Structure 1
Amino acid sequence: MSGQERSRARGAGRRRMLAGVLGLSMLAVGGTVATVQPTEARFTDTEFVASGTFTAFTVPVPAITGCTVSSVLGTFTGFTITWTSPYLLAQQRFTINDVVVPNSNVTQSGTGPYTYTSTISSSLLGTLLTGGLLGASNTIRVQALLSGTTWTSAAATRTLSVGGLLGLGGNNTCT
Protein backbone atom coordinates (compact mmCIF):
# COMPACT_ATOMS: atom_id res chain seq x y z
CA MET A 1 0.00 0.00 0.00
CA SER A 2 1.28 3.36 -0.83
CA GLY A 3 1.49 6.28 1.55
CA GLN A 4 -1.40 7.99 0.00
CA GLU A 5 -3.62 4.99 0.25
CA ARG A 6 -2.69 4.54 3.89
CA SER A 7 -3.46 8.15 4.54
CA ARG A 8 -6.84 7.76 2.89
CA ALA A 9 -7.64 4.62 4.80
CA ARG A 10 -6.69 6.32 8.08
CA GLY A 11 -8.91 9.30 7.20
CA ALA A 12 -11.80 6.98 6.38
CA GLY A 13 -11.23 5.08 9.62
CA ARG A 14 -11.14 8.28 11.62
CA ARG A 15 -14.37 9.45 9.97
CA ARG A 16 -16.06 6.14 10.79
CA MET A 17 -14.84 6.33 14.33
CA LEU A 18 -15.97 9.93 14.63
CA ALA A 19 -19.36 9.00 13.19
CA GLY A 20 -19.66 6.12 15.65
CA VAL A 21 -18.71 8.31 18.62
CA LEU A 22 -21.13 10.94 17.43
CA GLY A 23 -23.92 8.37 17.03
CA LEU A 24 -23.29 6.98 20.50
CA SER A 25 -23.25 10.49 21.93
CA MET A 26 -26.57 11.25 20.32
CA LEU A 27 -28.06 8.05 21.68
CA ALA A 28 -26.77 8.90 25.13
CA VAL A 29 -28.16 12.45 24.97
CA GLY A 30 -31.46 11.24 23.48
CA GLY A 31 -31.85 8.72 26.27
CA THR A 32 -31.49 11.38 28.95
CA VAL A 33 -34.09 13.77 27.46
CA ALA A 34 -37.21 13.58 29.56
CA THR A 35 -40.16 12.06 27.80
CA VAL A 36 -43.70 13.35 28.31
CA GLN A 37 -45.44 11.30 30.92
CA PRO A 38 -49.17 10.56 30.47
CA THR A 39 -51.42 12.23 33.06
CA GLU A 40 -55.02 11.98 34.09
CA ALA A 41 -56.99 15.08 35.03
CA ARG A 42 -58.91 14.66 38.24
CA PHE A 43 -61.30 16.99 39.96
CA THR A 44 -62.51 16.51 43.46
CA ASP A 45 -66.16 17.34 43.99
CA THR A 46 -68.45 16.07 46.65
CA GLU A 47 -71.78 15.22 45.08
CA PHE A 48 -75.00 15.39 46.98
CA VAL A 49 -77.88 13.28 45.83
CA ALA A 50 -81.23 14.31 47.17
CA SER A 51 -84.72 13.16 46.53
CA GLY A 52 -88.10 14.28 47.62
CA THR A 53 -91.66 14.88 46.62
CA PHE A 54 -93.15 18.26 45.93
CA THR A 55 -96.38 19.62 44.56
CA ALA A 56 -96.63 22.73 42.44
CA PHE A 57 -98.82 25.48 43.81
CA THR A 58 -102.07 26.21 42.02
CA VAL A 59 -104.30 29.15 42.78
CA PRO A 60 -107.47 27.76 44.39
CA VAL A 61 -110.56 27.91 42.20
CA PRO A 62 -113.39 29.97 43.72
CA ALA A 63 -116.53 27.96 44.52
CA ILE A 64 -119.81 29.24 43.12
CA THR A 65 -122.38 28.54 45.82
CA GLY A 66 -125.41 30.08 44.19
CA CYS A 67 -126.72 31.58 40.98
CA THR A 68 -130.36 32.65 40.84
CA VAL A 69 -132.33 34.46 38.17
CA SER A 70 -135.05 37.01 38.85
CA SER A 71 -137.97 37.43 36.46
CA VAL A 72 -141.25 39.30 36.37
CA LEU A 73 -143.94 37.51 34.37
CA GLY A 74 -141.23 35.44 32.68
CA THR A 75 -139.22 38.50 31.66
CA PHE A 76 -135.60 38.48 32.85
CA THR A 77 -134.89 41.28 35.33
CA GLY A 78 -131.46 40.21 36.61
CA PHE A 79 -129.52 37.56 38.45
CA THR A 80 -127.52 37.11 41.64
CA ILE A 81 -124.33 35.07 41.87
CA THR A 82 -122.57 34.07 45.09
CA TRP A 83 -119.12 32.49 45.46
CA THR A 84 -116.43 31.88 48.05
CA SER A 85 -112.68 32.38 47.74
CA PRO A 86 -109.72 32.59 50.13
CA TYR A 87 -108.60 35.83 48.46
CA LEU A 88 -109.76 39.43 48.92
CA LEU A 89 -112.09 41.27 46.54
CA ALA A 90 -109.20 42.94 44.70
CA GLN A 91 -108.03 39.45 43.76
CA GLN A 92 -111.32 38.38 42.16
CA ARG A 93 -112.19 38.48 38.46
CA PHE A 94 -115.88 38.17 37.62
CA THR A 95 -116.68 38.11 33.89
CA ILE A 96 -119.76 37.65 31.72
CA ASN A 97 -118.94 36.57 28.17
CA ASP A 98 -115.33 37.62 28.84
CA VAL A 99 -116.41 41.17 29.80
CA VAL A 100 -115.06 42.06 33.25
CA VAL A 101 -117.69 43.14 35.77
CA PRO A 102 -116.23 45.97 37.90
CA ASN A 103 -115.58 44.99 41.53
CA SER A 104 -117.79 47.92 42.57
CA ASN A 105 -120.71 45.61 41.62
CA VAL A 106 -119.52 42.89 44.02
CA THR A 107 -119.90 42.85 47.82
CA GLN A 108 -117.53 40.99 50.13
CA SER A 109 -118.35 39.45 53.51
CA GLY A 110 -116.56 37.17 55.94
CA THR A 111 -112.97 37.03 57.09
CA GLY A 112 -111.60 34.31 54.84
CA PRO A 113 -112.63 32.36 53.08
CA TYR A 114 -114.63 35.32 51.88
CA THR A 115 -118.13 35.24 50.45
CA TYR A 116 -118.86 37.39 47.41
CA THR A 117 -122.27 38.39 46.07
CA SER A 118 -123.13 40.29 42.94
CA THR A 119 -126.60 41.21 41.77
CA ILE A 120 -126.66 42.24 38.15
CA SER A 121 -129.84 43.86 36.84
CA SER A 122 -130.95 43.41 33.24
CA SER A 123 -130.15 47.08 32.55
CA LEU A 124 -126.60 46.75 33.93
CA LEU A 125 -126.18 43.48 32.05
CA GLY A 126 -127.38 45.26 28.90
CA THR A 127 -124.69 47.94 29.31
CA LEU A 128 -121.98 45.34 29.95
CA LEU A 129 -123.04 43.17 27.02
CA THR A 130 -123.78 45.31 24.01
CA GLY A 131 -124.80 42.29 21.89
CA GLY A 132 -128.29 41.96 23.41
CA LEU A 133 -129.80 39.54 25.88
CA LEU A 134 -132.92 38.17 24.27
CA GLY A 135 -132.63 34.44 23.79
CA ALA A 136 -128.95 34.57 24.71
CA SER A 137 -126.73 32.08 26.50
CA ASN A 138 -124.03 33.83 28.52
CA THR A 139 -120.94 32.35 30.17
CA ILE A 140 -120.24 33.55 33.69
CA ARG A 141 -116.72 33.04 35.05
CA VAL A 142 -115.18 33.70 38.44
CA GLN A 143 -111.40 33.46 38.95
CA ALA A 144 -108.98 34.21 41.78
CA LEU A 145 -105.80 36.18 41.07
CA LEU A 146 -102.62 35.67 43.11
CA SER A 147 -101.45 39.09 44.29
CA GLY A 148 -98.14 40.31 42.87
CA THR A 149 -98.08 37.68 40.11
CA THR A 150 -99.79 36.91 36.82
CA TRP A 151 -101.12 33.63 38.21
CA THR A 152 -104.85 33.02 37.98
CA SER A 153 -106.99 30.13 39.06
CA ALA A 154 -109.01 28.02 36.73
CA ALA A 155 -112.45 29.51 36.25
CA ALA A 156 -115.57 28.46 38.11
CA THR A 157 -118.34 28.78 35.51
CA ARG A 158 -122.08 28.97 35.11
CA THR A 159 -124.29 29.52 32.08
CA LEU A 160 -126.87 32.31 32.25
CA SER A 161 -129.67 31.74 29.76
CA VAL A 162 -132.00 34.65 29.10
CA GLY A 163 -135.27 33.60 27.47
CA GLY A 164 -136.39 36.99 26.32
CA LEU A 165 -139.56 39.03 26.72
CA LEU A 166 -142.15 37.14 28.79
CA GLY A 167 -139.90 34.10 28.58
CA LEU A 168 -141.01 33.47 25.00
CA GLY A 169 -137.46 32.60 23.94
CA GLY A 170 -137.07 29.98 26.68
CA ASN A 171 -136.59 29.87 30.41
CA ASN A 172 -134.36 32.26 32.34
CA THR A 173 -131.84 30.05 34.10
CA CYS A 174 -128.40 30.06 35.66
CA THR A 175 -126.88 26.58 35.64
Structure 2
Amino acid sequence: MRRHARARILAGAVGLAVLVGIATSPAVQMTDAAFTDSEYAAGSFTASTLASPVVTSCTVTSFLGTFTGFTISWTSPYLKAQQRFSINNVVVDNTNVTQSGSGPYTYTSTISSGLLNTLLGSLLGSTNAVKVETVYSGTSWVSPAATRSLSVGGLLGLGGNNTCT
Protein backbone atom coordinates (compact mmCIF):
# COMPACT_ATOMS: atom_id res chain seq x y z
CA MET A 1 0.00 0.00 0.00
CA ARG A 2 2.90 2.26 0.56
CA ARG A 3 3.72 2.04 -3.05
CA HIS A 4 0.27 3.30 -4.04
CA ALA A 5 0.48 6.15 -1.59
CA ARG A 6 3.84 7.20 -2.95
CA ALA A 7 2.51 7.13 -6.52
CA ARG A 8 -0.46 9.29 -5.50
CA ILE A 9 1.75 11.81 -3.78
CA LEU A 10 4.02 11.94 -6.84
CA ALA A 11 1.04 12.40 -9.19
CA GLY A 12 -0.32 15.13 -6.95
CA ALA A 13 3.04 16.92 -6.90
CA VAL A 14 3.31 16.77 -10.69
CA GLY A 15 -0.25 18.08 -11.05
CA LEU A 16 0.46 20.91 -8.58
CA ALA A 17 3.66 21.81 -10.50
CA VAL A 18 1.71 22.00 -13.76
CA LEU A 19 -0.93 24.27 -12.19
CA VAL A 20 1.74 26.56 -10.70
CA GLY A 21 3.51 26.67 -14.10
CA ILE A 22 0.31 27.67 -15.90
CA ALA A 23 -0.55 30.29 -13.29
CA THR A 24 2.87 31.93 -13.41
CA SER A 25 3.33 31.88 -17.21
CA PRO A 26 3.03 35.24 -19.02
CA ALA A 27 -0.20 36.11 -20.81
CA VAL A 28 -0.49 35.48 -24.56
CA GLN A 29 0.53 38.59 -26.46
CA MET A 30 -1.74 40.12 -29.12
CA THR A 31 -0.45 40.23 -32.70
CA ASP A 32 -1.12 42.36 -35.74
CA ALA A 33 -0.42 39.53 -38.18
CA ALA A 34 -3.20 38.52 -40.51
CA PHE A 35 -3.56 35.98 -43.27
CA THR A 36 -5.71 38.12 -45.57
CA ASP A 37 -4.78 41.16 -47.62
CA SER A 38 -7.13 43.52 -49.38
CA GLU A 39 -4.56 44.60 -51.99
CA TYR A 40 -4.90 43.35 -55.56
CA ALA A 41 -3.41 43.90 -58.98
CA ALA A 42 -5.10 44.53 -62.29
CA GLY A 43 -3.96 44.65 -65.87
CA SER A 44 -5.10 44.07 -69.40
CA PHE A 45 -3.76 41.97 -72.23
CA THR A 46 -4.61 41.07 -75.78
CA ALA A 47 -4.27 37.55 -77.10
CA SER A 48 -1.96 37.17 -80.03
CA THR A 49 -3.39 35.90 -83.30
CA LEU A 50 -1.91 34.71 -86.56
CA ALA A 51 -2.75 36.80 -89.61
CA SER A 52 -4.65 35.00 -92.34
CA PRO A 53 -2.93 34.55 -95.69
CA VAL A 54 -4.50 36.46 -98.58
CA VAL A 55 -5.07 34.57 -101.84
CA THR A 56 -4.17 36.92 -104.71
CA SER A 57 -4.95 34.59 -107.62
CA CYS A 58 -6.11 31.10 -108.46
CA THR A 59 -6.06 30.10 -112.13
CA VAL A 60 -6.83 26.83 -113.89
CA THR A 61 -5.00 25.49 -116.94
CA SER A 62 -6.78 23.30 -119.47
CA PHE A 63 -6.01 21.64 -122.78
CA LEU A 64 -8.98 21.20 -125.12
CA GLY A 65 -11.30 21.67 -122.13
CA THR A 66 -9.56 18.98 -120.07
CA PHE A 67 -8.12 20.07 -116.72
CA THR A 68 -4.31 20.01 -116.65
CA GLY A 69 -3.62 21.82 -113.36
CA PHE A 70 -3.92 25.07 -111.46
CA THR A 71 -1.77 27.79 -109.92
CA ILE A 72 -2.53 29.52 -106.65
CA SER A 73 -0.73 32.59 -105.25
CA TRP A 74 -1.06 34.20 -101.83
CA THR A 75 0.68 36.65 -99.53
CA SER A 76 1.55 36.21 -95.87
CA PRO A 77 3.81 37.99 -93.35
CA TYR A 78 5.14 34.61 -92.18
CA LEU A 79 7.90 32.39 -93.55
CA LYS A 80 7.33 29.40 -95.82
CA ALA A 81 7.74 26.90 -92.97
CA GLN A 82 4.60 28.36 -91.38
CA GLN A 83 2.44 28.02 -94.51
CA ARG A 84 0.02 25.10 -94.86
CA PHE A 85 -1.55 24.58 -98.27
CA SER A 86 -4.15 21.82 -98.59
CA ILE A 87 -6.68 20.47 -101.05
CA ASN A 88 -9.67 18.65 -99.56
CA ASN A 89 -7.76 18.67 -96.23
CA VAL A 90 -4.80 16.80 -97.79
CA VAL A 91 -1.69 18.88 -97.09
CA VAL A 92 0.49 19.65 -100.11
CA ASP A 93 4.22 19.36 -99.36
CA ASN A 94 5.89 22.79 -99.10
CA THR A 95 8.46 21.72 -101.70
CA ASN A 96 5.67 22.49 -104.19
CA VAL A 97 5.49 26.08 -102.92
CA THR A 98 7.86 28.89 -103.94
CA GLN A 99 8.50 31.95 -101.78
CA SER A 100 9.52 35.41 -102.94
CA GLY A 101 9.78 38.85 -101.35
CA SER A 102 11.09 39.92 -97.97
CA GLY A 103 7.90 40.21 -95.95
CA PRO A 104 5.13 40.18 -96.56
CA TYR A 105 6.09 37.20 -98.65
CA THR A 106 4.45 36.03 -101.86
CA TYR A 107 3.87 32.30 -102.30
CA THR A 108 3.00 30.44 -105.49
CA SER A 109 2.21 26.80 -106.11
CA THR A 110 1.48 25.18 -109.46
CA ILE A 111 -0.19 21.83 -109.09
CA SER A 112 -0.50 19.56 -112.12
CA SER A 113 -3.39 17.19 -112.68
CA GLY A 114 -0.88 14.33 -112.27
CA LEU A 115 0.13 15.54 -108.80
CA LEU A 116 -3.52 16.04 -107.87
CA ASN A 117 -4.28 12.48 -108.98
CA THR A 118 -1.39 11.26 -106.81
CA LEU A 119 -2.61 13.25 -103.78
CA LEU A 120 -6.35 12.79 -104.10
CA GLY A 121 -7.17 10.34 -106.88
CA SER A 122 -9.25 11.30 -109.89
CA LEU A 123 -10.84 14.72 -109.60
CA LEU A 124 -12.91 14.59 -112.79
CA GLY A 125 -16.30 16.14 -112.24
CA SER A 126 -15.57 17.29 -108.67
CA THR A 127 -15.46 20.45 -106.59
CA ASN A 128 -12.54 20.66 -104.17
CA ALA A 129 -11.74 22.88 -101.20
CA VAL A 130 -8.38 24.65 -101.58
CA LYS A 131 -7.13 26.14 -98.32
CA VAL A 132 -4.10 28.17 -97.21
CA GLU A 133 -3.40 28.71 -93.50
CA THR A 134 -0.61 29.95 -91.28
CA VAL A 135 0.47 27.58 -88.51
CA TYR A 136 2.67 28.20 -85.49
CA SER A 137 5.02 25.22 -85.18
CA GLY A 138 4.84 23.19 -82.02
CA THR A 139 1.42 24.55 -81.06
CA SER A 140 -2.17 24.17 -82.13
CA TRP A 141 -2.33 27.81 -83.32
CA VAL A 142 -3.72 28.10 -86.84
CA SER A 143 -4.85 31.26 -88.60
CA PRO A 144 -8.26 31.52 -90.21
CA ALA A 145 -8.00 29.90 -93.64
CA ALA A 146 -8.04 31.65 -97.01
CA THR A 147 -10.12 29.36 -99.21
CA ARG A 148 -10.96 28.81 -102.85
CA SER A 149 -13.14 26.28 -104.63
CA LEU A 150 -11.49 24.27 -107.41
CA SER A 151 -14.00 22.76 -109.86
CA VAL A 152 -12.73 20.14 -112.26
CA GLY A 153 -14.94 19.25 -115.23
CA GLY A 154 -14.86 15.93 -117.02
CA LEU A 155 -12.86 14.97 -120.10
CA LEU A 156 -12.96 17.61 -122.82
CA GLY A 157 -14.92 19.82 -120.43
CA LEU A 158 -18.05 17.68 -120.77
CA GLY A 159 -18.60 17.56 -116.98
CA GLY A 160 -18.50 21.34 -116.55
CA ASN A 161 -16.02 24.16 -116.60
CA ASN A 162 -12.64 24.06 -114.88
CA THR A 163 -12.59 26.96 -112.40
CA CYS A 164 -10.93 28.16 -109.25
CA THR A 165 -13.06 30.75 -107.45
Output the TM-score relative to the length of structure 1.
0.71
Q: Which runs of 5+ in 1 are unaligned?
A: 1-32, 34-38
Q: Secondary structure at the match of 1:112?
A: coil
Partner of residue 173, structure 1:
163
Residue 79 in 1 paired to residue 70 in 2? yes
Residue in structure 2 matched with residue 4 of structure 1 by the alignment: none
Give the Cα separation in 2 of the matches to 1:48 and 1:64.
51
Match of 2:150 in 1: 160
The one-letter amino acid paired with 2:56 is T
Q: Does 1:92 align with 2:88?
A: no
CA distance in 1, matches of 2:104, 2:36: 50
Larger Rg, first or second structure (1 or 2): 1
Q: Are positions 1:111 and 2:115 aligned together?
A: no
Report the Cα distance in structure 2 between the residues aligned to 1:67 and 1:149, rounded to whole angstroms. 29
Q: Distance in 2 between the 1:47 and 1:114 partners?
A: 51
The corresponding residue for 1:137 is 127
Deviation of the 1:51 alpha carbon: 4.0
Count of residue pairs brought into register by the alignment: 142
Distance 1:83 1:43 in 2: 61
TM-score for the superposition, normalised by structure 2? 0.75
The residue identity in structure 2 corresponding to 1:86 is P
Distance 2:107 2:118 in 1: 22
Q: CA offset at residue 149 of structure 1? A: 2.4
Cα displacement (A) at 1:73:
1.6
1:141 counterpart letter in structure 2? K
Residue deviations 1:92-143, cap 9 Å, x none?
111001111011100000111111000001111111112x111100001111
Describe the SS at the equivalent of 1:104.
helix
Equivalent residue of 1:95, what SS?
strand
- Displacement of 1:45 in angstroms is 4.9
Residue of structure 2 equivalent to 1:61: 52
The 2-side partners of 1:86 and 1:94 are apart by 15
2: distance between equivalents of 1:76 and 1:138?
13
Stretches of structure 2 that go unaligned for 5 or more consecutive residues are 1-22, 24-29
Percent identical: 66
Give how far 1:151 is off.
1.2
